[in-house]
Amino acid sequence: DQQVKQNSPSLSVQEGRISILNCDYTNSMFDYFLWYKKYPAEGPTFLISISSIKDKNEDGRFTVFLNKSAKHLSLHIVPSQPGDSAVYFCAASAIYDYKLSFGAGTTVTVRA
């Protein structure tokens, strides 16, 4: 069963605007959440993370929001740039588990 879900397979956004990517999870034991970015023919690279004790984490243009009661997190990219065009994966781990469950990914295309 898919414990981490990204229901939007793709997102197209104009350069300079905000990109919002969504992720839902079902396992209440998940305690730590990560976003990865993946370019074609490369491995995923870590982007930003958040632990369950926080509801927001910022790193430059990237902000992740966590709503534990709704089992929902989102990634905001502001402003979107052409280099942000990639596949974004949401991932989650239970505390001290060190195994990640991944969503199916959202392909972001930033239009000039």
List residues binding other proteins (CB under 8 A): 2, 4, 6, 9, 32, 34, 36, 41-46, 49, 89, 93, 98-100, 102-105
Smallest distance, other proteins to C-beta of residue 101, A:
8
Q: Which residues pair with 111 in a beta bridge?
A: 14
Q: Which one, 14 or 26, has the nearer CB to other proteins?
A: 26
Give least dist CB 54 to other proteins, A.
Answer: 14
**CA-to-CA distance for 96 and 33, rounded, in angstroms?**
13
The token pair at 77 is 């990219």
> In sequence order, what are the residues at sequence separation of 6 or more whose Cβ sits closer than 8 angstroms to the Cβ of residue 101?
3, 4, 25, 27, 30, 91, 92, 93
Compute the least distance from the CB of residue 38 to other proteins, in Å: 9
